Structures are given as C-alpha cells and as structure tokens.
Amino acid sequence: MKKHLIGAAVACALLGACAAPTAVSGPSHGDAGTTVLRHFTLFDGTGAAPRQDAALVMSHGVITWVGAASAVKVPSGARVVDLGGKFVMPGLIDSHVHLGVDKGLANYSVDAVEAQLKLYAAYGVTAVLSLGTDQDAAFEVRRAQREHPNGMARVYTTGLGVVYDGGYGGLAGLPQRARTPEEARALVDAQAAKGADAIKLWMDDGFGDIPKLMPYSMSSAVISEAHAKGLKAVAHVYYRDSARELVDEGLDAFAHEVRDFPLDDAFLAAMKQHHTWQLAATLSREASFAYPKLPFTDDPFFYRGVSPDVRARLNSPAFEEKAKADPHFPMYYGVLRTAMENLVREAKAGIPYGMGTDSGLGQRFPGYFAHWELELMVDAGLTPLEALTAATGSNAKFLGAADIGTIAQGKRADLMVLEKSPLDSIRNTRTISQVYVAGSPAPTIWQTCVARQAGACD
C-alpha cells in the first residue's frame, strides 16, 4: 500500500489532470442561468453502471433534464459545453469534517468556515457534514448558502457534540461537556434548537491515555434525546465492545471504524437489525498517523491547497521526528489495517456505508483527504463504483438530502467533471476539469494556489 500512496504524488503528470479547461460558448462562468453539458460519460451516484455519450441541462441551479446526447434539446440562449468524452458525476459529499478550527478557536469565524468550504468545492467536494465542533458561525453560513452557495460546499452540521466531562473528544474551550445524563440531554436540546442536522457524541479514551469513557447511561441519554428531537445520533468510536453497546442503544451511525478488533458476525447482525450506518470509515485519518512522512507533500494536487509554510512543516525533519516519538506510533499501521478490513466486512454484510475523512483538524486536509479516502476504500477491497456511490448517493441518503448526491431531473446541479473515468482507476478523481455548485462553475484545485501568487503553483 505504501508504494501505491506514494505513486499518487505524481498524479498531475501521470493522469493529465493539468490539461487546460474545455473551451465553452455562451455567458460567463459566473452565470447560473441555463447550461447544457453534452457528450460525456455519466455516473449518476445511484450505483448504476455509467452511461456513455450523455447530456444534461441545468437551469438556475437545478438539473432540468438528463439523457442521451442525441436526444438533448438546447434551450434558446443556453450556454453549451461539449465535454468530448469526459466524465461527469455528482459532487462528492464528505460525511465527517471539522470546519473553521484548523487555526484554533480564536480564529473561528464565518470567513474561516467559508474559506474551507470553498477549498472543499475546489476539490469537487460539494457538501460536507461537520461533526461536533461547530459554533454559531457554521449555522450562519448554512442559512445564507441554502439558496446561494456561492462556489462553496454546502454545509450540514451537528453543532457542538456531547463530550463526557474529563473524557475524550471535542475541543478545549467549547461548552460541550456534560457530567450527567441530564446535562447531556440539555446539550442535545441546545443543538436541536439551533437547527442541527444530527447529534454527535464521543465514546473513546485515546488508547487508554484518558481514564474516563463516556458512561452508557449518558450515551443512551444522548441517543434517545436526539431521536426525541427527530435527529440521528452519530458517534466517534474506537473499541468494538463500546461500539456494540451503542448499536444496541439505537445509535444511527459510526463516525469512525471500529479499530481494535475485527467485527464478528454477531456485531454485523446487530448493525443490520438496528439499521446502523458506517457513515465514515476515516481511513485517511488513520493513514495520516501511520507514516512519519506523509506520502503526498510533493503532489501538486495537494500542495496547491495549502500554504508554503504548511508544506515546509510537513517536509521538515522535526515533523518526522515528532511522529516517530508518539508512543502509539507502532500501533497506527495495524489500526489502519483493522479499519480497512472492518469496512469490507460491513460492505459484504450489506451494512450501509458512506465516505468521510475527519478532515479539518491537525494534519488532515480539507478536500484532498476525500480523494485519499476513496483510494484507501478501494485499496481495502471495495470497487471504485462502490466507493463513489458511498461518497455521493449514499451519503445524501443518510443526510436525508433528497436534492443532492445523485444526477437526475430536479436535483441540485452540484457536479464534478473529470478528464478520465474514476471507475477505471479511482485515482482519476484527481483529473478535475470543472466543478459546478448550484449550476455555477467554481474554481477547481487546478486553478487554485493558496497563499501565493496565482502562477506560483504551476
């Protein structure tokens, strides 16, 4: 696997992802009127086989027609884009992110949240679920962008998740800690009142470094209160035994894989019985700890999205030395392998699953990690079609977002155009040619150069 990951670092050159944008005719890129895309291969996000030589019409942010290119009727005045055999799919949905906190809580703001959402969109991630560290700014952005996304990923949020006081999870300085089931219920009620899309809780002890694990009386209170408010409950988990308890309590989804032991048939049967989702395996999170030097720092698909000082830090001897000095470092590769194997067990057992990265914190980078996650899902044993379906239609289904995640008449026109088919190679998700959010083109990562002059990344 290490060879595979390092090989991805030259994707721009190998995959032709740096090709110039397709020539178009009609109104400017900022116009979200009517656009026709035609002569492409279509993956619609449902898991169905791709359709050759397809076309679609999108008008004012909504897909109004999808079908064969030979049957499309171009509306008067429409902008027409001939894609010449490219590949069109729904924008990716990342079901586990943390918004606006990468530079610390002191810098958390609407601007910080929006900057990350624009970076996600540049990578073709057109919607995210932010899990457990959001303050009011995230709700403010969500309200403003429901009708006007303005080139950024759509945000769904759990607000502040519930952390057992003295236990693992959350962020220091945020009011999200509870000592009793009653306090936990009050935290759930507060997020529900703000309009949270789901509720988050943490059930972990950091490899035993933290002596307290959330009591089951508290986790069951969080789950039942979430359900009473009509919301799903999503949990950070690590251990198989505590995860099984949460399944029996009615938890709706895991935000990470079980990583200490393989999942047995009884566990999988319980997940099926209770309709528990594996919403995010966060394989890229585990992989980010498993390498003392991250294998993508010289990949232009990555470094166009970070500042030069971040890249220099990742490439420094100090970064590598710190990684190796972590007392848990020898465990991380095994943790990753267990997570990968458990995801495949769930998929084979018919457990519903999505795609999520835990990006936005530490060395987990918005947008880029969604593509690494897809690669790792395929490395684990899923097909590219299965991984892409998880990241589009399946994630939308869990969110209850009937208007995104698939390409069909009446859906939001959130799309990614690729030079090559990711069903042939999952690494072709890097060959981003165009991204549309609500029918308007957004700058892609190949048109982005963070914290530098525009040409400095070429």
Q: Which neighbouring-strand residues pair with 55?
A: 38, 67
Phi, psi of 194 (to 5 degrees): -80, -15
What CA–CA distance (Å, rounded) separates 9 from 104?
A: 29
Give me 250's structure tokens.
Answer: 């009615």
| Cβ atoms 268, 349 nearer than 8 A | yes
Domain 11-90+407-445 has CATH 2.30.40.10: yes
CA neighbours within 13 Å on the CB side: how many for 400? 8
Nearest to 251 by CA among 230, 277, 281: 277
CA dist 446 to 126, 440, 442, 452, Å?
16, 17, 11, 14
251: CB partners within 8 A, 6+ apart: 219, 223, 233, 234, 235, 274, 276
* Residue burial 116-128, b: 16+ Cβ < 10 Å; e: rest: bbbbbbbbbbbbb
CA neighbours within 13 Å on the CB side: how many for 426? 23
CATH topology of domain 94-287+327-399: TIM Barrel (3.20.20)
Mean pLDDT within 96-119: 95
Domain with CATH 3.20.20.140 in the chain: 94-287+327-399
Position 9 scores a pLDDT of 33
What CA–CA distance (Å, rounded) separates 432 from 87?
A: 10
Give me 24's structure tokens.
Answer: 């178009």
CA neighbours within 13 Å on the CB side: how many for 137? 19
pLDDT at 398 over 60: yes
| Cβ atoms 84, 90 nearer than 8 A | no
What CA–CA distance (Å, rounded) separates 103 from 289?
A: 20
What CA–CA distance (Å, rounded) separates 120 from 130?
A: 12
| Chain mean pLDDT for the chain | 93
pLDDT at 7 over 90: no
Q: What is the pLDDT of residues 49-94, one digit of tens each?
A: 999 999 999 999 999 999 999 999 999 999 999 999 999 999 999 9
pLDDT at 24 over 80: no
| Cβ atoms 83, 421 nearer than 8 A | no
Q: What is the pLDDT of residues 354-382, one digit of tens each?
A: 999 999 999 999 999 999 999 999 999 99
Q: Which neighbouring-strand residues pair with 87?
A: 41, 418
What CA–CA distance (Å, rounded) separates 12 from 254?
A: 34
Helix H, strand E, coil C: the string for the chain is CHHHHHHHHHHHHHHCCCCCCCCCECCCCCCCCEEEEEEEEECCCCCCCCEEEEEEEEECCEEEEEEEHHHCCCCCCCEEEECCCCEEEECEEEEEECCCCCCCHHHCCHHHHHHHHHHHHHCCEEEEEECCECCHHHHHHHHHHCCCCCCCCEEEECCECEEECCCCCCCCCCCCEECCHHHHHHHHHHHHHHCCCCEEEEECCCCCCCCCCCCHHHHHHHHHHHHHCCCCEEEEECCHHHHHHHHHHCCCEECCCCCCCCCCHHHHHHHHHHCCEECCCCHHHHHHHHCCCCCCCCCHHHHCCCCHHHHHHHCCHHHHHHHHHCCCHHHHHHHHHHHHHHHHHHHHHCCCECCCCCECCCCCCCCHHHHHHHHHHHHHCCCHHHHHHHHHHHHHHHHCCCCCCCCCCCCECCEEEECCCCCCCHHHHHCEEEEEECCEEECCHHHCCCCCCHHHHC
Phi, psi of 88 (to 5 degrees): -120, 135
Q: What is the pLDDT of residues 262-301, one digit of tens each?
A: 999 999 999 999 999 999 999 999 999 999 999 999 999 9
Q: What is the pLDDT of residues 191-239, one digit of tens each?
A: 999 999 999 999 999 999 999 999 999 999 999 999 999 999 999 999 9
Position 32 scores a pLDDT of 61
Give me 182's structure tokens.
Answer: 């009653």
Q: Which neighbouring-strand residues pair with 233?
A: 199
Position 454 scores a pLDDT of 83
| Cβ atoms 369, 294 nearer than 8 A | no
pTM of the model: 0.93
Position 1 scores a pLDDT of 40
What CA–CA distance (Å, rounded) separates 134 from 197?
A: 12
Q: What is the pLDDT of residues 119-165, one digit of tens each?
A: 999 999 999 999 999 999 999 999 999 878 889 999 999 999 999 99
